């Protein structure tokens, strides 16, 4: 049996009721918290920063998966460790020395993730795949929640899975953007391990039931 990992994205939470929404995830079948950090430079949006992340990790009782959409992320690796990140994902497109960034993340005791924009070819990871704990395939252009899923992602999942298997790597595949109950099963069947879901969970009338449903349909 394949156990999918469901990671609700806090970006879609009600920030005026953040503790309530964090407790909702704590009490749900969700596996991880997905936390989007945007700097207004790498992506055309600013989400939230360190004080808010600190408030989230104080209450969150599950794995903290931090997705950095910022330029030059090496500057903040130690800071994100101190704020409670368990997995720290940097963008391929934002790292001049990706191998060095991955080593620095692991030296802090975190799992190291690499995110790829929709246009970035998975083959570019061939020489570092054994150093990566998780690849986050962006299935929308990063910066905003609530966008439509890009169908080309299925092809990228298959290419990446083939590379992971060929290198005997243990790398997880995470899909981020436009995930719903309409594509969740197909993504897992294609080779994905982790599904991030923001607006689909938080805009639902019953987010707990929506998470349970995502978990159920992706347990194969």
Q: What residues are labeled active site?
A: 36, 176
Q: Is 91 in the site for Zn ion (CB under 5 A)?
A: no
Cβ nearer to ligand DX5, comparing 126 with 151? 151
Residue 113 marked in a binding site: no
Q: What 3-state class would DSSP assign to 185?
A: helix
Give residue for tokens 């246009």: 119
Q: Residues near 107 by Cβ (< 8 Å), separated by ≥ 6?
A: none
Whether the CB-CB separation of 149 and 191 falls below 8 Å is answered with no
Residue 9 marked in a binding site: yes
**Concatenated DSSP letters of 80-123:** HHHTT-SEEEEEGGG-SSHHHHHHHHHHTT-EEEEEE-TTS-GG
Cβ nearer to ligand DX5, comparing 86 with 167? 86
Least Å distance, CB 208 to ligand DX5, is 17
Q: Is 193 in the site for Zn ion (CB under 5 A)?
A: no
Question: How far, in Å, are 3, 19, 40 from residue 120 at the CA level?
Answer: 28, 36, 20
Least Å distance, CB 202 to ligand DX5, is 8
Residue 34 marked in a binding site: yes
**Residue 160: closest CA among 178, 139, 181, 182:** 139
Query: Which of the listed partners (Zn ion, ligand DX5, none) does 143 bind, with a CB threshold of 5 to 8 Å by partner kind?
Result: ligand DX5
- Span near Zn ion by CB under 5 A; candidates 47-55, 67-75, 127-135, 178-186: 67-75
Residue 49 marked in a binding site: no
Write phi, then psi, for 83 (nearest 5 degrees): -90, 0
Strand-pairing partners, residue 63, are 32
**Residue 216: closest CA among 193, 191, 185, 189:** 185
- Span near Zn ion by CB under 5 A; candidates 19-27, 36-44, 53-61, 127-135: 36-44
Cβ nearer to ligand DX5, comparing 177 with 191? 177
Least Å distance, CB 107 to ligand DX5, is 25
Cβ nearer to ligand DX5, comparing 36 with 39? 36
Q: Which of 36, 39, 65, 193 touches Zn ion (CB under 5 A)?
A: 36
Tokens at 194, concatenated: 């982790």
Residues in contact with ligand DX5 by CB under 6 A are 9, 11-12, 34, 36, 67, 140, 142-147, 176-179, 196-200
Question: Annotated binding residues for a divalent metal cation, as ranges?
Answer: 34, 36, 67, 176
Q: Which residues here bind Zn ion, judged by CB under 5 A? A: 36, 67, 176
């Amino acid at each position: 049996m394949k156990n999918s990992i469901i990671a609700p994205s806090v970006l879609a939470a009600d920030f005026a009721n953040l503790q309530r929404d964090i407790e909702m995830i704590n009490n749900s079948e969700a596996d991880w918290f997905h936390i989007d950090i945007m700097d207004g430079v790498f992506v055309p949006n600013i989400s939230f920063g360190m004080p808010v992340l600190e408030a989230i990790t104080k209450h969150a009782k599950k794995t903290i998966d931090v997705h950095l959409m910022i330029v030059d992320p090496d500057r903040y690796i130690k800071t994100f460790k101190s704020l409670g990140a368990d997995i720290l994902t940097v963008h391929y497109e934002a790292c001049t020395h990706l191998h060095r960034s991955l080593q620095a993340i692991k030296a802090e005791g975190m799992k190291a993730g690499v995110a790829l924009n929709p246009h970035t070819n998975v083959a570019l990871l061939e020489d570092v795949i054994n150093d990566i704990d998780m690849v986050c395939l962006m299935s929308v252009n990063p910066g905003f929640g609530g966008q439509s899923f890009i169908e080309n992602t299925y092809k990228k999942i298959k290419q990446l899975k083939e590379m992971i298997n060929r290198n005997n790597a243990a790398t997880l595949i995470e899909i981020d953007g436009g995930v719903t109950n309409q594509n969740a099963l197909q993504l897992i069947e294609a080779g994905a391990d982790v599904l991030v879901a923001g607006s689909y969970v938080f805009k639902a009338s019953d987010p707990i039931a929506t998470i349970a449903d995502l978990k159920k349909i992706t347990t194969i």
